[in-house]
Structure 1
Amino acid sequence: MSRTTLSTGLALTLVSAIALTGCGSGGGEEVAADAKQTLTVWAMGEEGARLKPVAAEFTKEHPNIKVKITPVGWDVVHQKLVSSLAGKKLPDMAQMGSTMMGEFIALDALEPVDTKAFKRSDFFPATWDSNVRDGTAYGVPWYADVRALYYRTDLAKKAGVTKAPTTWADQQALATAYKKHGAEYGTQLQPGATGAWQGWLQYLYSTGGELLGKDGKPALDSPQAVKAFKAWGSYFDKGLAKKNFTPGEDAAKDFSNGKRPMFQSGPWMVQNINDQHPELKGKWAVAPVPGDKSSTSWVGGSSLVTFKDSAHKAAAEEFTKYLATPKVQAHWYEVDKTLPAAKAAWDQPAMKNGDSSLPVFEKALGSAEAVPPVEKWNEFAVQIESALEKIARGADASATAKQLQKSAAGLVG
């Protein structure tokens, strides 16, 4: 999953423009799926380029539908989507990151998913739930990101640890052993700044905690949240994680040289380590995130959305169906190394014969929790990241959580 930010002033300007244009009122006459047409699709970065040959295969089966793929960088996609929405120049379909869903649902930009054509039971639950607001789904899961623990098995063995940590206590004991036997820090944790929430959320979910309570309001000062903040912060208190954030730090490099022989991240790191540090072959492993009440990660990734004003909704549904089939989802893993969101895709040969870490990620997907579609997610995340930075520097977790609850309350409608 990728995230982008937009300055508050620009965001307010663009949202005001959207309000004035009255977007979401519906486009012109819709085109039938069997009519000759061009379907416009935005996909992000390299995924946009990789999707083009997949779209060409779709057109072979649906020769009446030409698919025009436009790659858009993750760093500009939010601004481009919002401004295009204001100017009524959106494509028919787009790939949308999980944390962007809430905003575009609130802007009434997305066509609800036909739940006769797409069923929640076909996907890992959290991948579906991240697209749901008030019981209505607005996106079909395409691929998923989920966190796991990466650790150096060779250095663990030298430190006297021969099994993967399964609990928080195990994990901290391993971090302590790593440092005792020469590591600069026992683990890699981001102490603040953009994206820091991604290293903390699995702590919250492993306690049984939630970002939002049953009433839809923030639950960031719950006993579970405070417990998660304390567990996360303890690594900095004990000198097991670096307190100062340095942009551009290379987790794979520090993993390779043994400075920080443990971290939590997504499936893309498997390929990064294999490609960039082949000398580590046989010296590291991937395990489920260690848990408190449970081992529970969070799910990110991307879904496929159709915009409400599109005149090609029927064709968009056909293309979405194609991309959601188990065979194509498994092929997309081969192309992009991202995890299939459709459960049946994991029975395909590409997944069964893939990397040895895949069973870990499949298990994690089955128990993971969704990031709720919060309309003001970027601002919400910034508040969490600010709290994490304070805790990493020694602030009291309980008091910080209370302050966080107050500051986040106004960001959730």
Structure 2
Amino acid sequence: MAMVSAFGLMTTVAGCGLMPGDDERVTLKLVAADYGDSEANSSRKYWDALVEAYEKDHPNVRVDVSVHSWNDVDKKVKDMVAAGEAPDLAQVGTYADYAAAGKLYEMSELLSIPVQANFLSSLAEAGEVDRVQYGIPFAASTRVLFYNKKLFKEAGITRAPRTWSELATDAEALKAAGVKTPYALPLGPEEAQAETMQWLLSGGAGYTDNVGTYQIDSDENVKTFTWLKDELVDKGLTGPADPAKLNRADAFSAFAGGQVGMLNGHPTLMRIAAGKGIEYGTAAMPGVDGSSHGTMGVADWMMAFKQNGHQEEIGDFLDFVYSDENVLDFSREYNLLPVTSSASDAMAADKDDAALRPFLEELPTSELYPVGKTSWAQVSAAVKESIGTAVGQDTDPKTVLGRLQRMAVSAENKE
């Protein structure tokens, strides 16, 4: 998603003075997700550099950061909260269930007014529960179809597919040309909810309807997964890996290794593929009939727990985290999109960031997960665990989606 220190983190912070007494040193505990794909670019290095810069000017505050993989980070926070040991800050994928339980600070209780006003409006609104913002956007991305230009050329394919039918035809051509995985379908537990949502949107529906009611087993969604099973998986066009066990990171690695013809990807894949010398192209995700459908956007969240107090210290640290310099450093390091207006404008104007402009342009109108629903954390976990079985052998997609719908309704009714 150049190491952060190379960009030169800002070491002068507006809003200083919100410090504890000189005889008291406050420790803030932050649990964060790892956006790196190797030890060399682990998020640990980003946070180490940022914290070092912050603590240099704030000797009475120590920030203790623990970084965990996306497979583990949500559970880590959940276990800490359940044990009565909530961190001060957590940078993860959901927030609403903690907000509904009264465990989080409101954003307005933490950040300075200029920082609050600087978030992209669509992301800020997505951080609300009952019209109060608890989730603070941290990183964002949109998804597009990536394809291997060399493999396309060898298979005689001259352009990216625009419809599902064209995607299946291209996958057949890639298979005939000896491509190991014509289309990678990562429905494993790492990020199955993302692959699922992109396909649901391209089929004309989504997890919820226009008023926010779950519609996981809608006719459109059943047709989408039936098509995936019948036209891609059962025909051997998704490669040797079981989609239910294929994680996003492994699919990205296989694409960078020249073994995958097509897959859905976010901006991080650009760096991974380029680092391995893969010449790739990008295109909008094909729609069921070629019509324009919603583009999926993803936002990850920062949240602040009230358990330990430290409200002023948390707010001051977050003002530093969301400075343009630091937002851009993180975004550029991991090929993600800035969550603030000023940083987005700076990236859009910088010719060195030209490759990210298509993703930036899509973000304001993209559709995000229903993260404001307190049931979403439970629903997302269930999707990760079982959606891959919807395309398995001797499985009826309607049965799997119906089971997920019933679980989602039950979780919603408990809110």
Q: Deviations over 1:247-296 (max 9, x none)?
A: 67843454356542111122222222233x23x2xx21233333345353
Aligned to 1:201: 197
Change (3 A) 1:342 1:224: farther
Task: Tell me the distance in 2 between the aligned counterparts of 1:202 and 1:92.
Answer: 33
**Pairing 1:235-250 to 2, within 5 Å after superposition:** 235-242=232-239, 244-245=242-243, 250=250
Report the AA paired with residue 40 of structure 1: L
Q: Is the 8 A contact 1:205 1:298 kept in 2?
A: yes
C-alpha change, 1:250 and 1:307, in structure 2 (3 Å) is: closer
Alignment pair present for 1:38 and 2:38: no
Q: Is the contact made by 1:254 and 1:261 (CA closer than 8 Å) also made in structure 2?
A: no
CA contact under 8 A between 1:51 and 1:69: conserved in structure 2? no
Structure 1 residue ranges, 4+ long, deviating more than 6 angstroms after superposition: none
Letter in 2 for 1:33: L
Alpha-carbon distance in 1 for matches of 2:135, 2:382: 26
The residue identity in structure 2 corresponding to 1:268 is T
Aligned length: 376
Q: Secondary structure at the match of 1:190?
A: coil
User: 2:158 & 2:297 partners in 1: Cα distance?
Assistant: 29
Instruction: Decide whether aligned partners of structure 1 residues 205 and 157 sit closer, same or farther in structure 2, where only a CA change above 3 A counts.
Output: same
The corresponding residue for 2:103 is 109
Q: How large is the Cα RMSD of the aligned pairs?
A: 3.4
Distance in 1 between residues matched to 2:382 and 2:84, nearest whole Å:
32
Q: Aligned-pair distance for 1:40?
A: 0.6
Cα–Cα, structure 1 residues 370 and 161, in superposed 2: closer, same or farther, change >3 Å? same
Instruction: Give me the whole-angstrom Cα distance separating, in 2, the residues matched to 1:73 and 1:351.
Output: 33
Q: Which runs of 5+ in 1 are unaligned?
A: 2-30
The reply on whether 1:184 has 2:180 as its aligned counterpart is: yes
**Among 99, 120, 124, the residue aligned to 1:123:** 120
Contact residue 142 and residue 323 of structure 1 kept, 8 A: no
C-alpha distance 205-128 of structure 1, shift in aligned 2 (>3 A): farther
Deviation of 1:219 (Å): 1.0
Matches within 5 A, 1:130-169: 130-169=126-165
CA distance in 1, matches of 2:105, 2:45: 25
Write the distance in 1 (CA, Å) between the matches of 2:117 and 2:205: 23
Scaled by the length of structure 2, the TM-score of the pair is 0.77
TM-score normalized by the length of structure 1 = 0.77
Q: Identity over aligned residues, as a percent?
A: 22
CA distance in 2, matches of 1:404, 1:89: 31
1:344 corresponding residue in structure 2: 342
Letter aligned with residue 97 of structure 2: E
Shift, 1:306, TM fit: 1.6
Any unmatched runs of 5+ in structure 2?
2-15, 35-41
Shift of residue 78, structure 1, vs aligned partner: 3.7
Cα distance change of structure 1 residues 105 and 260 upon mapping to structure 2, 3 Å threshold = same
Over 3 Å counting, the alpha-carbon distance change for 1:83 and 1:218 in structure 2 is: same
Which residue, out of 225, 229, 232, partners 2:225?
A: 229
What is the aligned partner in structure 1 of residue 38 from structure 2?
none
Which residue, out of 61, 64, 68, partners 1:69? 64
Secondary structure of 2:183's counterpart equals coil
1:305 Cα deviation from its structure 2 partner: 1.6
Distance 2:103 2:264 in 1: 34
**1:39 to 1:409, Cα distance in 2 relative to 1, 3 A:** same
303, 306, 311: which one aligns with 2:304: 306
Are the equivalent residues in 2 in contact too, given 1:39–1:92 (CA < 8 A)? no
Q: Distance in 2 between matches of 1:261 and 1:325?
A: 39
Shift of 1:378: 5.5
Task: Identify the residue that residue 355 of structure 2 maps to in structure 1.
Answer: 357
> Paired residue for 2:332?
334
